[in-house]
Structure 1
Amino acid sequence: MDKRIKLQQGDITKLQVDAIVNAANSSLMGGGGVDGAIHRAGGKQILEECIKIIDRQGRCKTGNAVITTGGNLPAKYVIHTVGPVYNGGKNVLKEEEQLANCYSNSLKLAMENGIKTIAFPNISTGVYRFPKQRAAEIAVATVDNFLAENEQMKDVIFICFDDENFGIYQKLGL
């Protein structure tokens, strides 16, 4: 496992990194969970930029990512990515690919914007019901593979809000 991958427990809105990733919905208008917390902590500037993105391109598709400033957050940028809604395993290969795309597309966007430190929440494991263990495995493998080909990224942090996700990532060797 790449040594640039780190694990922390806490509040993603308080991290001092170049960018945090938001587990957004396709409207980019804020919502519950981490999405709502980022919009509340970051202030109206993030929402205003999200509205401009939607006006320009329409809704953000599952697995894709867009970037805004961090508003009032310590992070300079917020990368918004739309995770898949887990549908009881009916379309599990597509859902796993979409989740992996959330991580890889967020990292590509980070590289394009000169971002060296980035933090990810547990994408799709809340109201979108993706199984937490499998989501963590996909997240870690995708980031590890990306870092193997990209030297520029300095640190990738998985930030877990709850004990359950934190424990899952610890068991994966972080």
Structure 2
Amino acid sequence: MSKDPAARDGNVIGRQEIGSRRVVALQGDLTAQHVDAIVNAANEQLQHGGGVAAAIAKAGGHDIQRESDAWLHEHGEVGHGEAAVTSAGRMPADYVVHVVGPRYKDGQDNARLLRETVAAALDAARDYDCKSIALPAISAGIFGYPADEATRVIGEACLAWLGDDAGSLTEVRLVGIDQRGAELFAAGIGGASTLRGGSDPRN
């Protein structure tokens, strides 16, 4: 039996360590991850009607949308660089961190916007004293960000963030819904410029 806790929640494709912290790429079900928090690729209104958001709302139960509506009533729409945190309902995680990724557009700095979205999610997890968090391919669905680019940016952003003031956070999981998605995440963390040791699986 594997000693890697991520292996019980999916097929681990790649990993990269920074000191005592690590980023893991795996194929699996985001809603079934045994982590402290999972990230939802949400919209500004926290209406979880499609894609990853719909899967999270279904798996977590009515509490997810109810708490999202309450957050929206108190704070207004979720802006860029913000995160809304709710419980995870029936899912194994304790929290859902809702962030709004960029809608991919020519002429804007898509990578910077996506990096800032990832940082907002990780900052929120740290603020809630989470030790582990799982992220999907933010913006790569209906927001139109090419999956190979989004997974690379997300992987690099996670590695850079963990190399800074990560607080309690020691494990970041990048969860692909299928084998290709997981392999793209693995390539993203393997090819990140912040890596120490380890090779680029694309070579």
Structure showing greater relative contact order (alpha-carbon pairs closer than 8 Å, 6 or more residues apart): 1
In structure 1, what residue type is equivalent to 2:178?
D
The equivalent of 1:90 in structure 2 is: 107
Q: Deviations over 1:21-79 (max 9, x none)?
A: 00011111202111000001101111111111111111111342110011111111000
Counterparts of 1:114 and 1:40 in 2: how far apart (Å)? 26
Matched, 1:133 2:133: no
Matches within 5 A, 1:109-124: 109-124=124-139
Q: Helix, strand or coil: the match of 1:67? A: strand
In the alignment, is the contact (CA less than 8 A) between 1:63 and 1:100 conserved in 2? no
Q: Helix, strand or coil: the match of 1:2? A: strand
Q: Which ranges in structure 1 are unaligned for 5 or more consecutive residues?
A: none
The equivalent of 1:79 in structure 2 is: 97
Structure 1 residue 143 displacement after superposition = 0.8
- What's the TM-score, normalizing by structure 1? 0.92
2:168 aligns with one of 132, 148, 152: 152
Matches within 5 A, 1:1-174: 1-3=16-18, 4-87=22-105, 89-91=106-108, 93=109, 95-149=110-164, 150=166, 152-172=168-188, 173=190
After superposition, the CA RMSD in angstroms is 1.5
In structure 1, what residue type is equivalent to 2:171?
D
Counterparts of 2:182 and 2:159 in 1: how far apart (Å)? 18
Mean Cα deviation higher: 129-138 or 107-116: 129-138
Q: Percent identity?
A: 33
In structure 2, what residue type is equivalent to 1:90?
G
Structure 1 residue 81 displacement after superposition = 0.5
In the alignment, is the contact (CA less than 8 A) between 1:2 and 1:148 conserved in 2? no
Counterparts of 1:32 and 1:2 in 2: how far apart (Å)? 33
Counterparts of 1:136 and 1:170 in 2: how far apart (Å)? 9
Structure 1 residue 138 displacement after superposition = 1.2
